[in-house]
Structure 1
Amino acid sequence: MPQPIRRILFIMFDQLRWDYLSCAGHPHLQTPHIDALAARGVRFTRAYCQSPVCGASRMSTYTGRYVHSHGAAYNGYPLKVGELTLGDHLRRIGMDSWLVGKTHMRADAEGMARLGLAPDSVIGARVAECGFDIFTRDDGLWAEGPDGFYDSRRSPYNEYLKAQGYDGENPWASHANAGVDEDGQIASGWFMRHADRPANIREEDSETPWLTARAMDFIEQAQAPWLCHLSYIKPHWPYIVPAPYHAMYGPEHVPPAVRDARERQNPHPIFGAFQANAIGRAFSRDEVREKVIPAYMGLIKQCDDQMGRLIGRLEETGRMGDTMIVLTSDHGDYLGDHWLGEKDLFHEPSVKVPLIVYDPRPEADATRGGTCDALVEQIDLAASFIDAAGGAVPDHIVEGRSLLPFLHGEVPEDWRDFAVSEYDYATSPMAAKLGVAPRDARLFMVADKRWKFIHAEGGFRPMLFDMESDPQELHDLGDSAEHGEVIAMMQERLARWGRRMSQRTTRSDAEILAGRGGSDRRGILLGVYDEGECDPEVTAKYRGTAGQRFDL
């Protein structure tokens, strides 16, 4: 058996597309430091998030459970009290779990109050922070409008910027995510026409280097065993980046949009509604893509350089040899593909994520630098971390499966033949436009290595793509009579997945099996007619001379 891992560095970028890395084949963007990590580990080429939106995706990753199970289906939906998280599982086997960066966690304040959990207690703080102990939490969205801040919590990043001499009440908005125009006015990154300007901040003070520094501070002082979740906000919007990264790429480096005019001709109603929203309309314009994508690439280039800085420190201090490193993203970014922006739906640019796993142990030597095309879900990470730390994965709670066999040159038995992702669009203007009730505004993706099927509640037809003949997902076959058998197969898979055991989380299969047949030894004798039908040992308490007799 491999020796347990004592340090796990779990790196998550926000909104990083799987194909915007040079190791994944991007034609212009070079990411040598991330590529070097892939050369030392395994790159998984078919990894899917469990929901293509920040909050729900992360809650699945941190619990190891599908959205269907934990219920935190969209940004701002609390993860209910009682859901076990990665930190809970790791602490049981002696490993601390720390956060540096973003979770998008919304605490179940009502549930905590009902149970008397004080937010400033150790247990209450962990429940409120998705199971992590907090070294630095910063969700990186310090936007402010007429009704106040999007995130009203304390901003440690803004406090850092003010300490560095940046002026204003919200230097996140006025410096880190804004440039300066020709008249000396704020050129906010919220307006995408400014995406080619340099952010008005020293590069070393911008968000990505700041979080990298905080992670290095954590590593320097931490006593193993630990998991550190280093969770970056970038390359998430606002799309603006400091010099010199703002000028590294231009319109000539923007890949052609993956889209077809036929996608706009009688599209699936939900697909059409998302195409028609403000984000879809914006990213359908070439001028938007030519401004945004070079900045997006610059943000990724900065992220890669920070990976070089971080991994270099691990090597200098001798920690590279005993630290597992996992690098992924919570979801992707359409960037105009399929006439869409942002994420939300299930085309590959949105739902597929990069995933690189480096295991320093000798058992992983044979697979270094390789790729794995197994169908992987992000809930597999929680199981992998528990396994790597030497624990037994509680598979009645954690619905993912450990990836360690793949790293060690083995093929796990009965690996999944399809992956599932979900999306709840109940709060969106699209649900209102379509007249869909909140309970019905839900989508489910079922994908195997050839077919991708999307079921839409609310009486809509399905969507279907043949990933073999149409890898760019341009032709929806959901209303094709010729594909009725495929649609039926995928519907059956979704129904089978929906019937899985997912809510019996307080009793494991092993406990149930161990308890079978034991009730007679505790005096419960059902269906017995005569004492001779039972082992005398179990009937001993019910035999013998009677006590005082009462005749009525």
Structure 2
Amino acid sequence: MSQKPNFLFIITDQQRADFLGCYGHPVLKTPNIDALAARGVAFDEFHTASPVCMPNRASIMTGRYPSVHGLRKNGLHLPEHNVTFVDALRAEGYHTTLIGKSHLQPFTGRDIPQSNPAAQATIPDAWKPLEEDWQQEEPQRWEGEQDYHITLPYYGFEHADLVSRHGDQCGGHYDLWLRQQLDDPGRLQGPANQLPHSYSCPQAYRTALPERLHPTRYVEQRACEFIDTQKDQEQPFFAFVSFPDPHHPFCPPGAYWDLYDPDDFFLSRPVASHKNPPPYLTHLQQALAGGQRQASTEKGFMATDREVREAMALTCGMITMIDDAVGQMLARLKANGLDDNTVVIFTSDHGDYLGDYNLLLKGPAPMRGITRVPMIWSDPAEPLAGRSNALTSAIDLAPSILERAGITPYHGIQGTSLLPMLQGADWTRKELLIEHEDNIAVWGFEHPAHSRTLLREGYRLTLFQGQDFGELYDLNQDPDESNNLWGSPGHAGIRNRLTERLVQSMLAATEQSPWPKRIA
């Protein structure tokens, strides 16, 4: 058996940090993930590089900020020239496999409604177009009856079993498999075929698809099958196991639908509790009151108290199903004698407002509900157990995994390895940059929101491009982010100081690769 460590990297989709038992949720039961945290280190201040699916997934893979790797907003591709840490693992002899959601390329097939103003130009964009076949997750690539084999290696993965989209209507290899299990599976999928229920929350429906055929169960089974193949192998493995839940739509299958009662949940941050709401909150509140909200897309919206409690309960059902899957994978590691040489990592790509000021899903406001995600590092060779409040980021995962594998990180990586801290060294980072670029204008913004956020000294500072307002919150005194100090005369000094630090952080996050080979 290999002396190099194996890695089981488990990632969920749209799961905020405080929706786990080990992160203090009072209702949700996640015994398997909690047990993983109990024998590892759980990070309490682990944040996204960008609180959106595609940019942050690309930041996890590259260890670099979206403004540098190029996948700055949803709907773009991670350009082929990027090196991922999986490329580095594979180059050093690791067997690399992807099971589940990748989302490093668009997978909806839907066009952005706001077209490029230079679309009719002979050369419409400053970036030359990517190769035509660099669209491997597009849905039209999967519509045939035969299996579709993507071009490998795929961002460093020499095997890929893709699950695209969300809910009970996922695509990719899962859809091909499902069509082999059922004749006309569409009769059991989607809101048009849902079972009776009394929920009113937008994007909540009771799927008729049974648990055994649900995408979460598919990812679990494929992961367990892969683990079984690794017993007694000399080659170390890296398995990226990516669940498309608990992302909306809110449709956990079978017993997971009513596992939790909405009446057991409460809103700790109702919209009325914000002392001086920023313009976007006022806009969303007016849209809800006037019956004009947009609640059917992936963009965040404001919901009623009852709708929020229903979304919370259904999200917990999805998370418990994932927790059951995690338990099966950990048991399979142990059964195959792999648990004593496998580093297990658990995290998510971003969060969900899930009731913060009555908001659901994600949007332009970089509140902690969408930037702060769980991260658990469990390492049998470093049996540290406890919690860390170190200010850490998605970009830190790539250098940490490479160092743990004994591999020198490539030039241009922007994260910092967590390994020295896990081994007892002091963590020196005092501030953290979070980038966000929207792809369409929502929430009353005239143009797609473009912001930069700094976390430092217990504050959150956010600047929005082209806006006459910003945000400044004292997270120590106001952890709910309910009192915007941006215009407070008494906080002008800290605002100015943090603005300067934000500029310094943005300068530090600029591209440094490639390494120059000549003087000039």
Give the TM bin, normalised by the shorter chain. Answer: 0.7 to 0.9
Give the direction of change, closer, same or farther, for the CA distance of 1:406–1:299 in structure 2 (3 Å limit). same
Alignment partner of 2:93: what SS?
coil
Q: 1:332 aligns with which of 345, 351, 365?
A: 351
1:283 Cα deviation from its structure 2 partner: 4.2
Closer, same or farther in 2 for the Cα pair 1:172/1:392, shift >3 Å? farther
Q: Secondary structure at the match of 1:125?
A: coil
In structure 2, what is the Cα distance between the partners aligned to 1:170 and 1:135?
28
- Separation in 2 of the partners of 1:266 and 1:422? 24
How far 1:459 sits from its partner (Å)?
3.6
Select 1:133's aligned residue among 140, 158, 164. 158
Aligned to 2:442: 429
Change (3 A) 1:230 1:449: farther
| Deviation for aligned residue 1:499 | 1.5
Hey, what does 1:371 align to over in structure 2?
Answer: 387
Give the conservation status (yes or no) of the 8 Å contact 2:18–2:374. yes
1:357 maps onto 2:368 in alignment:
no
- Structure-1 separation of matches of 2:40 and 2:392: 16
In structure 1, what is the equivalent of residue 60 of structure 2?
61
Residue 192 of structure 1 pairs with residue 201 of structure 2: yes
TM-score by length of 1: 0.79
Q: Show the counterpart of 2:475.
A: 467
Check conservation: 1:5, 1:323, Cα contact below 8 A: no
- Aligned counterpart, 2:464: 456
Structure 1 pair 76–130 and aligned structure 2 pair: CA distance change class (3 A) = farther
Could you tell me which residue of structure 2 aligns to residue 532 of structure 1? none
1:26 partnered with 2:25: yes
Evaluate the alpha carbon distance shift between residue 203 and residue 169 of structure 1 in structure 2; reply closer, same or farther with a 3 A threshold: closer
Alignment equivalent of 1:165, drawn from 178, 182, 189? 182
Q: CA RMSD in A?
A: 3.1
> d(CA) in 2 for partners of 1:491 and 1:271?
23
Give SS of 1:65's match. Answer: coil
Q: Distance in 2 between matches of 1:257 and 1:168?
A: 40
C-alpha distance in 2, partners of 1:171/1:82? 41
Letter in 2 for 1:507: W
Q: Which runs of 5+ in 1 are unaligned?
A: 145-150, 520-552
Say whether 1:245 aligns with 2:256: yes
Select between 164-173 and 216-225 the one with higher mean Cα deviation.
Answer: 164-173
Secondary structure at 2:190 match in 1: helix
Partner of 1:342: 361
Q: Which amino acid aligns with 1:249?
A: Y
Structure 2: gaps of 5 or more residues: 107-126, 142-149, 288-292
**Are 2:238 and 1:212 equivalent residues in the alignment?**
no
Q: CA deviation at 1:194?
A: 8.0
Q: Alpha-carbon deviations, 1:382-407, whole Å to 9, x = none?
A: 1111111111123x311011111222
Answer whether contact 2:267 2:305 (CA < 8 A) is retained.
Answer: no
Displacement of 1:169 in angstroms is 4.3
Q: Which residue of 2 aligns with 1:81?
A: 80
Task: Kindly provide the amino acid, as one letter, of the partner of residue 417 in structure 2.
Answer: S
Deviating more after overlay: 454-463 vs 42-51: 454-463
Find the aligned partners of 2:282 and 2:261 in 1 and give their Cα distance. Answer: 30
Q: Which residue of 2 aligns with 1:524?
A: none
Work out the CA distance in 2 between the residues paired with 1:333 and 1:240.
16
Tell me the CA shift for residue 81 of structure 1. 2.6
Task: Supply the distance in 2 between the matched residues of 1:114 and 1:193 (Cα, whole angstroms).
Answer: 36
SS in 2 for 1:452: strand
In structure 1, the residue corresponding to 2:254 is in which secondary structure?
coil
Alignment deviations for residues 14-63 of structure 1 (CA, whole Å, 9 cap, x no partner): 01110011111111111110010011110011000111111111111111
Bigger shift: residues 376-385 or 236-245: 236-245
Match of 2:146 in 1: none
1:138 CA displacement: 0.9
Question: Equivalent pairs: percent with the same residue?
Answer: 30
- Figure out how many residues of one structure are paired with residues of the other and give that number: 475
SS in 1 for 2:322: helix
- Letter aligned with residue 468 of structure 1: N
Q: Secondary structure, in 3 states, of the residue corresponding to 1:318?
A: coil
The answer to which structure, 1 or 2, has the higher relative contact order (CA under 8 A, 6+ apart) is 2
Point out the structure with max Rg over C-alpha. 1
Q: Which residue of 2 aligns with 1:409?
A: 424
Change (3 A) 1:211 1:341: same
Are 2:90 and 2:156, in contact at CA under 8 Å, matched by a contact in 1? Answer: no
